Amino acid sequence: MTTEQKLQIKEALVRYVATHPTSIAAAATLQGITTQHIAQVLHNNWEMVTEKTWHQLARQIGFFQNEWNPADTGTHLLLRILFSDAQHFALAYGIAISNGLGKTFTACQYVRENETAAIISCSELHNRKTFITALLESLNQPVTGTVPQLVQQFADTIAERNEPLLIIDDAHKLKDRVLHFLITIVNCVGDRCGIVIMGNEELSTRIITGARQNREGFAMIYNTIGRRFITLGRPGPNDVDMICRANGVTNADVIDYIKEQCGNSLHGIEHLVQHSRRKAA
């Protein structure tokens, strides 16, 4: 469990204790939690509190009830590093990542935490007009005008922001014409904006092959991201374990079951964890 999560649990505990006459009364409502545990958490004597106690406390005071907590998986940490580098140094990255590794969750969380970062989820239905419209909407901008006018509005909006970041999620879904248009837009903002283009393995294969075959536009796309893709293939051996524990499931047998059900994808893990929590409750 991370220090940030412990701080959040402490804040939740402060609110929980405040709803009872005393900390003794609050402890009496919590299974496996003593007044000493409460005092240790509230006074930051955390070295005395075991991991198991943290999770017992979190489950019972509602910390895990209505939110999905991130875990420091390899993919989660690497993506956050790449997002931060792209944002602070106005870099462009291409990321080819297998489905089910939590890229969208990590990206959305990063955007929530950074007000000058934005994310757009790509669709097979996008044309140039709907794509630039979606870009502006992700930046909370009104949308009126022709495509050239909207591109200029996008460039002006980026120019006004401090260390902006744009995350293009599921870019493999874009048609070639829209993918080329994306690079035109990127070139309009020059080195003023960080860009992360994410998609599955199809995206990297498509762009690298297109560049090698000298197909129109693909060399420009490949050059924009530094002529390389960062590749992420499958969950790490401890990813499921960390995600389960970050979200209140600590029983080893249950974790093994969830790991077996997940296989090489983290899709569906939230449902499995929530089902296990309800069953345990």
Tens of pLDDT, residues 56-77:
888 777 665 456 788 889 999 9
- Residues 140 and 200 both lie in one domain: yes
- Residues 103 and 33 both lie in one domain: no
Cα separation, 172 vs 176, whole angstroms:
9
> Per-residue pLDDT averaged across 243-250, rounded?
87
Confidence of residue 204 (pLDDT cuts 50, 70, 90): very high
- Residues 218 and 87 both lie in one domain: yes
- Residues 239 and 228 both lie in one domain: no
Residue that terminates a domain, selected from 67, 99, 125: 67
- Residues 29 and 134 both lie in one domain: no
Q: What is the pLDDT of residue 230?
A: 95
| pLDDT tens-digit series, residues 28-55 | 888 889 999 999 999 888 988 988 888 8
Residue that terminates a domain, selected from 36, 67, 98: 67
Residue 266: domain span: 235-281
Beta strands in the chain (DSSP E): 92-97, 117-121, 165-169, 194-199, 230-232
> Per-residue pLDDT averaged across 172-194, rounded?
91
Which of 228, 234, 281, 229 is closest to 254 using CA atoms? 281
Q: What is the pLDDT of residue 66?
A: 52
Confidence of residue 237 (pLDDT cuts 50, 70, 90): confident
- Residues 93 and 206 both lie in one domain: yes
- Residues 128 and 156 both lie in one domain: yes
Give the residue, 79 or 121, on which the prediction is more confident.
79
SS3 state at 196: strand
Confidence of residue 241 (pLDDT cuts 50, 70, 90): very high
**This prediction's pTM:** 0.74
Counting the structural domains of the chain, the total is 3
Contact 174, 182 (CB under 8 A): yes
CATH code (residue 218): 3.40.50.300
> Per-residue pLDDT averaged across 103-112, rounded?
89
Residue that terminates a domain, selected from 210, 232, 254: 232
Q: Which residues pair with 93 in a beta bridge?
A: 196
CA-CA-CA-CA dihedral for 212, 214, 218, 219, to nearest 10? 80
- Residues 115 and 142 both lie in one domain: yes
Q: Mention every residue, 6+ apart, whose C-beta is less than 8 A from residue 268.
A: 261, 262
- Residues 107 and 22 both lie in one domain: no
Instruction: For the beta carbon of residue 259, count every other beta carbon within 10 angstroms.
Output: 19
- % of the chain surpassing 90 pLDDT: 53
- Residues 40 and 63 both lie in one domain: yes
- Residues 228 and 243 both lie in one domain: no
Give the residue, 267 or 143, on which the prediction is more confident.
143
- Residues 154 and 37 both lie in one domain: no
SS3 state at 195: strand
Give the residue, 14 or 226, on which the prediction is more confident.
226
Q: What is the pLDDT of residue 281?
A: 58
Mean pLDDT computed over every residue of the chain: 89
